[in-house]
Amino acid sequence: MTAADALQPAIIYLGAGLAAAVASRAARMSPIVGYLLVGLVIGPSGMSLVEDNDATHFLAELGVAFLLFDIGLHFSVKDFSTRRDDILRLAPLQMGLCALGFAAIGFAFGLDPMLVLVISIALALSSTAVVGRILSDRNTPGCPIGRSAMAVLVAQDIVAIFLLVLAASIGGDPDSLGLGLTVAFAKAALALIIALLAGHYLVRPLFGALATTNNQEAFTVVALFIVLAGSAATAGFGLSLTLGAFLAGMAISETPYRHTIQTEVKPFGGLLLGLFFMSVGMSVNVPALYTLWPAVILAAIVIMALKTGLTLLAVSLARRTTPSAIQLSSLLSQGSEFALVVLAVPAVAGGLPDAFVGVLVAAVATTLAAAPIWTGLGVQAARWAANRSKSAPAPAPSSNEATTVLVFGMTEEGRFAVDALRDHQISYIAIDNDPERFVAATSDGYDVVYGDVADYRLMETLNAAHARAIVLGRPATGNAAGALNAERYPEAVHYVAATSMPERFALAASGLRAHVALAEPRGVELATDLLTGLGVDQSVVASWIEEQAALRGVSRSTQEDDITEPTPA
């Protein structure tokens, strides 16, 4: 074999991946769908340009490992404590109800009970990659809906790790399954403890030493080493590659270097994950699907409709508002990349008729492609429900809520201020009289009162005279700046989002702490001043701001360079 022959598969994979990424972006669809379609084209059922061999499958598995590593980077012990309600209550409800629904269908087809268990759980999972992309495109990763969705997805991804163990055990001794899962759980728990200790005593000092050298290449090499070493360690321990990658990500998530590592490793993970989806597309028997496309469309509709309905029930049982339940259920309605992983496990694929495997893979891929459209319909339905709630009376705070912070105007600055108060467990009431903003914020999961601060009766109901602080998301909203002046509410510190420097100085002259949004995330200056003024330690505020910037895809350097505005007295 010549060097040209050896390079040919790599060139084809890279070229196909590039074409899939560019075409997907142009068509405004998920890149996952593009990779699946390209796999169909270059695979054995298409043009047969490359072989579907063991080397391809190994690299594809590494792609899944990098996906789990990225998830681990976003899942720290601190995150678990702040999102425990979503992780321990909402996520089990959602997965349990959806799995039961799919299990009923599986039993109706007369499938093996073990296959039904594995496939129903796999179909109950949603796509982290697709949901993250949708939230990013809508600029809502930090809103309550986005945070709840990502918390549920993290819980699903943890379940998926053990689901792969369960899927691999199909066809073995059923009496040993319980013991096998128990041993796997014990090993995973031990691996988690080792990973956390390694993160604190090994990874943190190591990256601290590397940081003093200012060598970016060393960061990249060490990050790749940790991913691969963690994967190899758990694989040698009798667990999966993916679990080791997830734990490696968790170990780094407890250090201040996780955002840098995420940036360095992301290109490798994206490339290998794209190869995984291409390998799934290559494994689909296209000729067998020519006559089965109606079954594919029907299966995709059933998956999305069933998951939407059952997730809506789960979110309602978790006592969320109707607009929140509607939007979150549509957001989690698609299939998961892990469903594709499970369907590719030989024990699962071999236990199903060929038509079943092909139809399910194609149906899951169809749900990934349709997810943005389906979610858009969910957003419209959520806003319709929120619009109907505008006439609800404002809540009357009890006498012990005199330290409540009032936030008027759910603009970008107002939302960021609410996020800051919520994350630091500071009591607040959000108010807005703009119908469009009210509906949008309510459908995104914010608890908002519909009303005008110029209505003194409403402000008396909200006990504004004794508010701890008053925040105006934008002073140009009605007569808000005049209605919430410092003379009328002298006990509260007033924070205002100004739209220009002259306006800022004018507002500051009247006793308001005004800020012009110069940095990203928008409103970071106001939120920083607000939290500091409410007594939150500056180091805690700085850490929270960094986390929010990473969540919204804002680089740390840009954030630091742009926050130059002095706070007015």
Other beta carbons less than 10 A from residue 301's beta carbon: 14
CB-neighbour burial class of residue 44 (10 A; exposed 0-12, middle 13-18, buried 19+): middle
Q: Phi and psi of 516, rounded to 5°?
A: -100, 135
Q: Are 482 and 476 in contact (CB under 8 A)?
A: no
Sign of CA dihedral 463, 469, 473, 474: positive
pLDDT in tens, 420-448: 888 888 888 888 888 888 888 888 888 88
Sign of CA dihedral 191, 194, 200, 206: negative
| pLDDT over 60 at 77, yes or no | yes
The reported pLDDT for the residue numbered 238 is: 67
The reported pLDDT for the residue numbered 184 is: 66
- pLDDT band at residue 559 using 50, 70 and 90 as cut-offs: very low
Cα angle 517-519-521, degrees, rounded to a multiple of 5: 95
Class of domain 405-562: alpha beta
The reported pLDDT for the residue numbered 304 is: 95
Query: Quick check: helix, strand or coil at residue 535?
Result: coil
- One-letter amino acid at 143 equals C
| pLDDT over 60 at 551, yes or no | yes
The reported pLDDT for the residue numbered 312 is: 93
| pLDDT over 70 at 519, yes or no | yes
Q: pTM here?
A: 0.74
Which tokens in the block code for residue 398? 């009890």
Q: Are 426 and 446 in contact (CB under 8 A)?
A: no
* Percentage of residues of the chain with pLDDT beyond 70: 82
Provide mean pLDDT across the span 170-177.
60
CB-neighbour burial class of residue 563 (10 A; exposed 0-12, middle 13-18, buried 19+): middle
Provide mean pLDDT across the span 355-365.
84
The reported pLDDT for the residue numbered 141 is: 72
Alpha-carbon span 168 to 345, nearest angstrom: 7
CATH of domain 9-385: 1.20.1530.20
- pLDDT band at residue 148 using 50, 70 and 90 as cut-offs: confident
The reported pLDDT for the residue numbered 18 is: 83
Half-sphere exposure (Cβ direction) of 390: Cα atoms closer than 13 Å: 16
- pLDDT band at residue 176 using 50, 70 and 90 as cut-offs: low
Q: What is the mean pLDDT of the chain?
A: 78
- pLDDT band at residue 155 using 50, 70 and 90 as cut-offs: confident
| pLDDT over 60 at 392, yes or no | no
Min mean pLDDT across 77-81, 170-174, 342-346 is at 170-174
pLDDT in tens, 14-45: 888 888 888 877 777 767 778 878 888 887 77
Other beta carbons less than 10 A from residue 199's beta carbon: 23
Half-sphere exposure (Cβ direction) of 323: Cα atoms closer than 13 Å: 24
Which tokens in the block code for residue 156? 């699903």
The reported pLDDT for the residue numbered 178 is: 65
**Domain residues of the chain, as ranges?**
9-385, 405-562
Q: Are strands 428-432 and 405-408 parallel, antiparallel or unpaired?
A: parallel
